[in-house]
């Protein structure tokens, strides 16, 4: 179970820094000099040149320099197609430590994995730069701006081990290779399953990251661990887009503690569910309610026979058994991680049965058409109602009544 998360961090104004001093020309020269520094740093990563990379790091920041040497080595096995930095803006000059000046900077990192990403992953970094001898160097990347920190990547956590599948790339830190291979095999079964039910252009491959534990998974998401305890995996990516442009790069991030508790069937459902988010990303927009995006992903995941509706939806089945039939389709707030677990489970189960109803009554192709139609709406308000009428020829009131009856029948 997962929510589609936005990897791209918002561009926020730098606070806590004094105003930029000096002439506009001087500020412009500093910005251009910093961008040249970032370009050299990016080229060193692409060329796998550790010496050139470390040459961009402030020699006076010994601990950070040692850390950067270690991180550069941990990145060695990751197959990079591209890696660039863009200076978003600079903040105020900070008090100098010794000689030279220090400057806060917000930087955008963009990278692609070779053979897997059709568009870059984008992550924000908040750097402290030091000027020595007229040249700028990176002195730190652990700055905090407006409560935000630099986005953490898997290689920041340890040496990355890479396992390639037929349709997948699995990156792991602190995990046995046997587990990573099993995850790749599971993903290799999920991708064809999506291609059979989701026609149209998508990458047809998936990148899975397996960190060492729950805490490190949460760090990759920039979130508190408690919100993901018991969640086996999530998908990150930027929602929106269209079929004529490359889908934004997604990552399936596994919570090893929850994932390894599952049996083979459960693991396959989880990875197939997350792969559905990857496949449908370009058709999923702000107009798409979570009951539809999550319900569709579960519908794909549970298409393999082997479980009855009551086994797939135990929490909802218990509610129905006590006469508590849902009155309306679940709201987005019902899918919030960290909320009451039974409520979260019921929300997923309700969304699954709504999509299953459409597939059973109108067919899988109509479900896909309905999904796309909702995502094409310019705004959330009225999107579902319009798509129901145009694709299924029913009103929201009629569909809700059908769904309630279907829930009662399937879970009786």
Q: Are 68 and 107 in contact (CB under 8 A)?
A: no
| E-state strands within 100-167 | 102-113, 121-132, 135-140, 144-145, 148-149, 161-164
Q: Give the pLDDT score at 222.
A: 87
- Counting as low any pLDDT under 50, the low residues of the chain are 1-26, 95-98, 242-245
d(CA 220, CA 213): 11
Q: What is the pLDDT of residues 365-388, one digit of tens each?
A: 999 999 999 999 999 999 999 999
pLDDT score, position 237:
76
Domain segments of the chain as ranges: 4-150, 152-283, 285-412
Alpha-carbon distance of 353 to 412, in angstroms, equals 13
User: Distance between CA atoms of 389 and 399, rounded to whole angstroms?
Assistant: 10
pLDDT given at position 147: 57
Q: Which of 184, 269, 175, 264 is nearest to 213 (CA)?
A: 175
Residue 238's pLDDT is 63
Residue 237 falls in which region: left (phi positive, over 0), alpha (psi -120 to 50) or beta = left
Rounded Cα distance, 412 and 410, in Å:
6
CA distance 339 to 351: 17
Tell me yes or no: is domain 4-150 CATH 1.10.10.10.
Answer: no
Q: What's the rounded Cα separation, in Å, for the pair 93 and 366? A: 58
Q: Among all chains, which residue has been given the structure tokens 């999509």?
A: 355
- 198 within 8 A of 276, measured Cβ to Cβ: yes
Diameter of the chain by CA atoms?
A: 77
The predicted structure's pLDDT at residue 405: 98
Count of alpha carbons within 13 Å of 242, Cβ hemisphere only?
4
pTM score, whole prediction: 0.87
Q: Is the separation of the CB atoms in 48 and 122 below 8 Å?
A: no
User: pLDDT at position 306, please?
Assistant: 80
Phi, psi angles (nearest 5°) of residue 310: -65, -30
CATH number listed for the domain at residues 152-283: 3.30.2010.30
Distance, CA of 41 to CA of 57 (rounded, Å): 9
Residue 188 near residue 165 (C-beta atoms within 8 A): yes
Check if the beta carbon of residue 301 is closer than 8 Å to that of residue 220: no
CA dist., res. 193 & res. 23, Å (int): 60
């Amino acid at each position: 179970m997962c929510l589609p998360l936005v990897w791209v961090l918002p561009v926020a104004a730098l606070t806590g820094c004094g105003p930029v001093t000096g002439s506009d020309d001087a500020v412009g020269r500093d910005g251009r000099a910093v961008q040249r520094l970032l370009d050299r740093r990016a080229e060193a990563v692409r060329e796998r040149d550790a010496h050139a990379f470390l040459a961009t790091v402030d020699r006076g920041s010994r601990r950070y320099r040692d850390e950067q040497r270690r991180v550069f080595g941990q990145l060695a096995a990751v197959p990079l197609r591209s890696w660039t930095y863009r200076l978003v803006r600079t903040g105020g000059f900070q008090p100098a430590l010794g000689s030279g000046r220090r400057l806060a900077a917000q930087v955008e990192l963009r990278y692609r994995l070779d053979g897997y990403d059709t568009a870059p992953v984008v992550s924000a970094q908040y750097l402290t730069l030091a000027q020595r001898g007229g040249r700028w160097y990176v002195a730190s990347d652990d700055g905090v701006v407006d409560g935000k920190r630099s986005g953490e990547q898997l290689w920041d956590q340890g040496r990355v081990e890479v396992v390639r599948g037929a349709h997948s790339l699995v990156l792991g830190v602190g995990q046995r290779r046997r587990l990573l291979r099993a995850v790749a095999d599971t993903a290799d079964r999920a991708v064809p399953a999506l291609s059979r039910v989701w026609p149209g252009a998508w990458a047809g491959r998936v990148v899975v990251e397996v960190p060492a534990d729950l805490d490190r998974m949460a760090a990759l998401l920039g979130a508190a661990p408690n919100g993901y305890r018991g969640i086996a995996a999530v998908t990150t990516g930027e929602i929106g887009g269209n079929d004529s442009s490359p889908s934004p790069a997604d990552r399936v991030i596994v919570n090893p503690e929850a994932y390894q508790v599952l049996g083979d069937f459960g693991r396959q459902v989880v990875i197939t569910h997350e792969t559905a988010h990857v496949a449908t990303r370009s058709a999923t927009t702000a107009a798409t309610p979570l009951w539809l995006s999550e319900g569709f992903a579960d519908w794909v995941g549970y298409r393999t026979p082997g479980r009855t509706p009551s086994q797939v939806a135990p929490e909802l089945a218990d509610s129905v058994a006590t006469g508590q039939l849902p009155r309306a389709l679940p709201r987005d707030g019902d899918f919030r991680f960290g909320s009451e677990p039974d409520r979260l489970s019921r929300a997923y189960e309700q969304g699954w049965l709504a999509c299953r109803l459409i597939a059973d009554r109108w067919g899988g192709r109509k479900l896909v058409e309905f999904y796309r139609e909702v995502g094409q709406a310019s705004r959330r308000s009225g999107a579902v109602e319009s798509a129901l009428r145009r694709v299924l020829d029913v009103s929201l009131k009629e569909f809700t009544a059908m769904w309630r009856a279907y829930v009662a029948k399937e879970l009786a």
